[in-house]
Amino acid sequence: MKRVTLLGATGSIGLSTLDILARHPERFTLHAVTADTSHARMAEICRRFRPAVAVMRDASAAAELRALLEDSETRVLAGAEGLAEVAAEPAVDIVVAAIVGAAGLLPTLAAVQAGKRILLANKETLVMAGDLFMAEVSRHGAELLPVDSEHNAIFQCLPAASLGGIDGAGVDRILLTGSGGPFRDLPLEELGDVTPEQACAHPNWDMGPKISVDSATMMNKGLELIEACWLFGVQQEQIEIVLHRQSIVHSMVSYRDGSVLAQLGNPDMRTPIANALAWPERISSGVEPLDLVAVSQLDFSAADERRYPCLRIAREAWRAGGTGMAVMNAANEVAVEHFLRGGFGFADISDLIETVLASLPPVPAEDLETVLEVDDKARKLARQIIQQRT
Ligand code: NAD
Ligand code: MG
C-alpha cells in the first residue's frame, strides 16, 4: 500500500489523480490533499476520500473548511508550513506535484528533500530553478517521474533509468509534440482580439486556465522545452518541436540508427498519471483504448515562431541560462493572470515577457533565495508595466 500526498487536489491534474486513486484502493491510500482557496470543493474531496490531512494555502479558506468538516477525522492545516509538512510527511511514499505556477516550487522541493517519489506536473518548478532542483533530487535520492504527457511519453520511449542524463543511450533527438492550441489556424492579424474563453477552449485537452492560455501562446511548449532539458540532461538543440494537431502522439525519441520511438494514446492525463503512479508496473486508468482507425490521420508540421513568439523567447532564455528562465516564468504568470481577468491583450503576453526580460538580465541562479528574489522582482515589474499601459 502506497501513501499519497496530492498537492493541488482541486485542479485538473488533481481531479484526474483522484480518479485513478479511486480505481485502485488496494494499492494507494490518500494521506493528504491541498488546495489554494476552494474550500467547498475540498470538503467534497475529503468526504469522499477521507484523507488524514487537508491543507488550504489560504488561512480563511482553511477556517471555512474546518467548519465544513467539523464531524470528520480529517485534520485541516493552513499556509506554506502546512503544504511543506504534508509534502515531507515521513509516512508518505508518493507526492503528486500538481499546484499551478511558481507556488508549487517550495512544497515540491520539500518533497524532494524528504526523498519521496515525486510525480511532477508542476513544470514551472523546473523552469524557475531546474539546476538547483535536479541537484537536490540526486542529493536526497528522490525519485522524479514526469507527469506532463510529453515528458512521460519521452520517459517511456527511453531506456530505463534515463532521467537526469541520456548519454550512451544512442539518442539523436527528442521530438516534442504540441497541438498548436486553439488559434493555430487563426489569421495572425486576428490574434489581438481573442478572448479568455476562446483561449481556454483547447481543441484536444481539458486543462486548468493557466496552462490553457500557455497552450494557446505555446509558452507551454517553451516551458516544456526547458523542462525536458533538465529532466533528460539534454541541450535545447537536441529538441525539435513538432506540431501535431490530433494530440495522439505525445512525443518521440529519435535514435542514431534511424529508429523513432513514439508513445501514443488518447489525450487524457489519466494515462501519464497512472503510468507514473505505478511505474514500473502498469495499472488501468479508465482511459478509452486508442482507436487508430477512427483517428485515421496523424498530421505533423513545423511550428511557426511568428505565430508563437514564446517559443523563441523560451529558447533564448534557456541559452542565456541563470535566472532568465525564472524571470520569463514570472512575467508569463502575471501576463496570463491579467489576460484571464480581461483588459490585457493576448498578443501583448509575449511582448510583456520580452520587456521584463530585457530589464532584468540573467545572473547565475546560485541559490533558492536568488531565484525567489528574481521571481518577485519580475512580477512587480510586470504588474507596473501593465498598470502603465492600461
Ligand atoms: P489548475 O488551475 O486546474 O489547478 C491548480 C491547483 O493548484 C488547484 O488545486 C489550486 O487550488 C492549486 N493552487 C493554485 N494556486 C495555488 C497557490 N498559490 N498555492 C497553493 N496551491 C495553489 O491547474 P492544472 O491544469 O491542474 O495544472 C497544474 C500543474 O500541472 C501546472 O503546473 C500545469 O502546467 C501542469 N500540467 C497540467 C496539465 C493538465 O492537463 N491540466 C498537463 C500537463 C501539466
Ligand atoms: Mg504537456
Domain-embedded: residue 315: no
What is the model's pLDDT at position 276?
98
Say if residue 302 is in the same domain as residue 153.
yes
Q: Residue 165 above 90 pLDDT? A: no
> Model confidence at 252, in pLDDT bands (50, 70, 90)?
very high
Percent of the chain scored above 90 by pLDDT?
95
Say if residue 228 is in the same domain as residue 327.
no
Rounded distance, CA 277 to CA 48, Å? 20
Return the residue matching grid coordinates 524532494.
Answer: 112
pLDDT in tens, 8-56: 999 999 999 999 999 999 999 999 999 999 999 999 999 999 999 999 9
Domain-embedded: residue 313: no
CATH number at residue 366: 1.10.1740.10
Rounded mean pLDDT of 71-98?
97
Q: How many domains does the chain have?
A: 3
pLDDT in tens, 318-365: 999 999 999 999 999 999 999 999 989 999 999 999 999 999 999 999
Say if residue 113 is in the same domain as residue 175.
no
Q: Which domain holds residue 381?
A: 321-390
Say if residue 338 is in the same domain as residue 385.
yes
- For a substitution probing ligand 1, which of 154, 155, 207, 224 has the most ligand atoms within 8 Å of its CB? 207
Say if residue 153 is in the same domain as residue 142.
no
Domain-embedded: residue 91: yes
Say if residue 163 is in the same domain as residue 289.
yes
- For a substitution probing ligand 1, which of 6, 7, 10, 13 has the most ligand atoms within 8 Å of its CB? 13
Q: Residue 167 above 90 pLDDT? A: no
List, as ranges, residues with CB under 5 A of the ion ligand 2: 148-150
pTM reported for the whole predicted model: 0.98
What is the model's pLDDT at position 390?
76
Say if residue 132 is in the same domain as residue 165.
no
Cβ–Cβ under 8 Å, residues 263 and 153: yes
- Burial label, 240 (beta-carbon count in 10 A; 0-12, 13-18, 19+): middle
Say if residue 267 is in the same domain as residue 349.
no
What is the model's pLDDT at position 337?
98
> Model confidence at 389, in pLDDT bands (50, 70, 90)?
confident
Return the residue matching grid coordinates 499546484.
Answer: 99
Domain-embedded: residue 312: no
What is the model's pLDDT at position 111?
98
CATH number at residue 9: 3.40.50.720
The residue from 119, 146, 173 where one domain ends is 146
Q: Residue 163 above 90 pLDDT? A: no
